[in-house]
Chains A and B, each alone.
Chain A
Amino acid sequence: MSEIDSNTMKYKLINMYQQNKAAIEEGLPDVVNRVRENAIRDFDRQGIPEKGSEAYKYTDLMRAFGKTYGYSFKAPKTDVDPETIFQCAVPDLDTYTILLENGWFYNKSGEQLNLPKGIIVRSFRDAATEFPELFEKHYNKYLESHKESIASFNTAFAQDGLFLHIPDGVVLEKPIQIINLLRGGNPLLVNQRNLIVVGKNSQAKVIVCDHTLSQQNFFANTVTEVFIDESAVFDYYSIQNQHNQSSQISSIFVNQMKNSNSLLNTLTLHGGFVRNNIHVKLAGEHAEANVYGLSLVDGKQHVDNFTFVDHAVANCNSNELYKNVLDDEATAAFNGRILVREDAQKTQAFQSNKNICLTQEAKMYTKPQLEIYADDVKCSHGATIGQIDEEALFYLKSRGIGGHEARMMLMHAFAYEVLSHIRVPVLMERYGDLVEKRLRGEFSKCEGCFVHCN
Chain B
Amino acid sequence: MVMLKINNLKASVDGKEILKGINLEVKPGEVHAIMGPNGSGKSTLASVLAGNENFEVTEGEVSFFNKDLLVMAPEDRARAGLFLSFQYPIEIPGVSMVNFMKAAVNEKRKYNGQEPISAQDFLKMLRDKKKVVEMDDRLTSRSVNEGFSGGEKKKNEIFQMAMLEPKLSILDETDSGLDIDALRIVANGVNKLKTANTSTIVITHYQRLLDYIVPDVVHILYNGRIVKTGGKDLALELEEKGYDWIKEEVNV
Q: Which residues of A contact B (CB under 8 A)?
A: 391-392, 394-403, 405-406, 409-410, 412-417, 420
Q: Is the CB of A402 within 8 A of B75?
A: yes
Q: Is the CB of A399 within 8 A of B95?
A: no
Which of chain B's residues 52-84 have a Cβ closer than 8 Å to chain A?
52-53, 73-75, 77-79, 83-84
Contacts of B52 in A (CB 8 A): 394
In the assembly, what is the distance between CA of A119 and CA of B52, in Å? 60
Contacts of B78 in A (CB 8 A): 397-400
B243 at the binding interface (Cβ < 8 Å): no
Contacts of B51 in A (CB 8 A): 394, 397-398
Q: Is the CB of B74 within 8 A of A394?
A: yes
Q: Output the nearest chain A residue to B109 by Cβ-Cβ distance.
A: A400
Interface string of B86-104 (1 = CB under 8 A from A): 1001101111000110011
Q: Is the CB of A416 within 8 A of B107?
A: no
Contacts of B100 in A (CB 8 A): 396, 399, 401, 409
Q: Is the CB of A395 within 8 A of B89?
A: yes
Interface string of B140-159 (1 = CB under 8 A from A): 00011000000000000000
Q: Is the CB of A400 within 8 A of B90?
A: no
Contacts of B99 in A (CB 8 A): 409
In the assembly, what is the distance between CA of A415 and CA of B86, in Å? 26
Cβ contacts A to B, 10 pairs, < 8 Å? A392-B92, A394-B51, A394-B53, A398-B83, A399-B78, A401-B100, A402-B107, A409-B99, A409-B103, A417-B93
Chain A interface secondary structure, helix, strand, loop or mixed?
Answer: helix
Contacts of A413 in B (CB 8 A): 92-95, 143
Which of chain B's residues 187-245 have a Cβ closer than 8 Å to chain A?
none
Contacts of A397 in B (CB 8 A): 51, 73-75, 78
Contacts of A420 in B (CB 8 A): 94
**What total of chain B residues lie within 8 Å of the partner, measured CB to CB?**
30
Q: Is the CB of B90 within 8 A of A395?
A: yes
Q: Is the CB of A400 within 8 A of B107?
A: yes
Write the nearest CB–CB distance from B70 to chain A, whole angstroms.
Answer: 15
Contacts of A398 in B (CB 8 A): 50-51, 74-75, 77-78, 83-84, 86
Contacts of A405 in B (CB 8 A): 103, 107
Write the nearest CB–CB distance from A162 to chain B, whole angstroms.
Answer: 34
Contacts of A412 in B (CB 8 A): 94-95
Q: Which of A392, A400, A415, A416 contacts B75 (CB 8 A)?
A: A400
In the assembly, what is the distance between CA of A391 and CA of B73, in Å? 15
In the assembly, what is the distance between CA of A396 and CA of B79, in Å? 12
Q: Is the CB of A400 within 8 A of B86?
A: no
Listed residue (B73, B84, B92, B144) with the most chain A CB atoms within 10 angstroms of its CB: B92
Q: Is the CB of A392 within 8 A of B90?
A: yes
B108 at the binding interface (Cβ < 8 Å): yes
Write the nearest CB–CB distance from B56 to chain A, whole angstroms.
Answer: 15
Q: Is the CB of A402 within 8 A of B90?
A: no
Contacts of B92 in A (CB 8 A): 392, 395-396, 409-410, 413
Q: Which of A399, A410, A416 contacts B160 (CB 8 A)?
A: A399
Listed residue (A395, A400, A401, A402) with the most chain B CB atoms within 10 angstroms of its CB: A400
Write the nearest CB–CB distance from B69 to chain A, whole angstroms.
Answer: 13
Contacts of B45 in A (CB 8 A): none
Contacts of A415 in B (CB 8 A): 94
